[in-house]
A and B are shown apart, each in its own frame.
Chain A
Amino acid sequence: MQRSTIAELSRQLRGGSVTSRALVERYLAAIEALDGSINAFITVCGEQALAAADAADELLQSGQAGPLTGVPLAHKDIFCTTDAPTTCGSRMLEGYVSPFDATAVERLRAAGAVLVGKTNMDEFAMGSSTETSYFGPTGNPWDLNRSPGGSSGGSAAAVAAGMIPAGTGTDTGGSIRQPAALAGVTGFKPTYGRVSRYGMVAFASSLDQAGTLTLTAEDAAILMEAMAGFDPRDSTCADLPVPAYTDALNTSLAGKRIGVPKEFFDAGLDSDNEQCVREAIAVFEEQGATVVEVSLPNLHLSVPAYYIVAPAECSSNLSRFDGVRFGHRHEEVTDLESFYKLTRKEGFGPEVKRRIITGAYVLSAGYYDAYYLKAQQVRQLISEDFKRCFAEVDLLAGPTTPTPAFLLGEKMDDPVQMYLNDIYTIGVNLAGLPGISVPCGLVRGLPVGLQLIGPQFGESAVLNCAHIYQQQTQWHDLVPAISASGSDGDSR
Chain B
Amino acid sequence: MALSKKDIQQIAHLARIEVSDDEIADYVDKLSQIIGLVDQLQQVNTTDVVPMAHPSDMYQRLRDDEVSEVNQRELFQRNASAVTDGLYRVPKVLD
B window 21-40: CB within 8 A of A: 26-27, 30-31, 33-40
Residues on the B chain within 8 Å of A374, using CB: 41-42, 44, 46
Q: Is the CB of A383 within 8 A of B91?
A: no
Counting CB contacts under 8 A, is B6 at the interface? no
State the CA gap A326–B78 with chains docked (Å). 8
> Chain B's interface: helix, strand, loop or mixed, by majority?
loop
Contact A235 B49 (CB under 8 A): no
With A370-B42, A378-B41 already in contact, the answer to whether A192 and B56 are too (CB < 8 A) is yes
A235→B79 contact, CB < 8 A:
no
15 contacts between A and B (CB under 8 A): A96-B79, A232-B63, A236-B54, A308-B41, A325-B76, A325-B80, A326-B79, A329-B81, A344-B17, A345-B18, A360-B12, A360-B14, A374-B46, A377-B52, A433-B55
Query: How close is B88's CB to chain A, nearest CB, in angstroms?
Result: 5
The answer to whether A235 and B78 touch (CB under 8 A), given A315-B15, A415-B34, is: no
Is B75 among interface residues, defined by CB-CB distance under 8 A?
Answer: yes
Shortest Cβ gap from A490 to chain B (Å) = 41
Contacts of A319 in B (CB 8 A): 16
B41 CB contacts on chain A under 8 angstroms: 301, 304-305, 308, 371, 374-375, 378
Q: How far is the CB of B54 from chain A (nearest CB, A)?
A: 5
Counted as pairs of residues, one from A and one from B, with CB atoms less than 8 Å apart, the total is 173
Question: Residue-by-residue, is B63-91 near A (CB-CB < 8 Å gives 1, otherwise 0)?
Answer: 10000000010011111111000001011
Question: Are B90 and A324 in contact (CB-based, < 8 A)?
Answer: yes
| A97 within 8 Å of B (CB atoms) | yes
**Across the interface, do A337 and B44 meet the contact criterion of CB distance under 8 Å?**
no
- B52's partner among A99, A298, A361, A380 (CB-CB below 8 A) is A380
Q: Are B88 and A377 in contact (CB under 8 A)?
A: no
Interface residue count for B (Cβ, 8 Å)? 56
Q: A415-B33, A416-B34 are in contact. Are A339 and B63 (CB under 8 A)?
A: no
A350 to B20 Cα, complex, angstroms? 13
| Best-surrounded residue of B16, B30, B92 (most CB of chain A within 10 A) | B16
How many angstroms from the CA of A263 to the CA of B90 in the assembled complex? 53
Q: Which residues of B contact A (CB under 8 A)?
A: 3, 7-8, 11-20, 26-27, 30-31, 33-42, 44, 46, 49-58, 60-61, 63, 72, 75-82, 88, 90-93
Number of interface residues of A (CB under 8 A): 71
| B10 → A minimal CB distance (Å) | 8
Question: Given A206-B55, A381-B49, are A325 and B79 also a contact pair (CB < 8 Å)?
Answer: yes
A308 neighbours in B (Cβ, 8 Å): 38, 41
Interface residues in A316-373 by Cβ distance below 8 A to B read 319, 322, 324-327, 329, 333-342, 344-345, 348, 350, 353-354, 356-362, 364, 370-371, 373
Contacts of B39 in A (CB 8 A): 304
Asked whether, in the complex, the Cβ of B31 is within 8 Å of the Cβ of A432, the reply is no
Evaluate whether A324 and B78 lie within 8 angstroms (CB atoms) in the complex, with A232-B63, A360-B11, A378-B41 already known. Answer: no
Q: Is the CB of B15 within 8 A of A360?
A: yes
A376 adjacent to chain B (CB < 8 Å): yes
CA distance A430 to B36 in the complex (A): 20
> Which of B30, B37, B52 is A376 in contact with, Cβ under 8 Å?
B52
Shortest CB-to-CB span from B90 to chain A, Å, is: 6
Chain A nearest Cβ from B14, distance in angstroms = 5
User: Which residues from 11 to 38 on chain A have a C-beta closer than 8 Å to any C-beta of chain B?
Assistant: none
Nearest A residue to B81, CB-CB:
A329
Residue of B nearest to A371 (CB): B38
A419 contacts B17, CB within 8 Å?
Answer: no
CB-CB nearest in chain A for B20: A345
CB of A215, distance to nearest CB on chain B (Å): 29
The 9 closest A-B pairs by CB, nearest first: A432-B55, A376-B51, A377-B46, A326-B79, A341-B18, A380-B52, A345-B18, A360-B15, A377-B49
Q: Which residue in chain A gives the minimum CB-CB distance to B56?
A: A193
Q: How far is the CB of A102 from chain B (nearest CB, A)?
A: 16
Nearest neighbor of A379 in chain B, beta-carbon distance: B52
Which of these, A235, A335, A338, A342, contacts B60 with CB under 8 Å? A235
Chain B residues, Cβ within 8 Å of A324 = 80, 82, 88, 90
A117 to chain B, nearest CB (A): 21
List residues of chain A with CB within 8 A of the CB of B11.
357, 360-361, 364
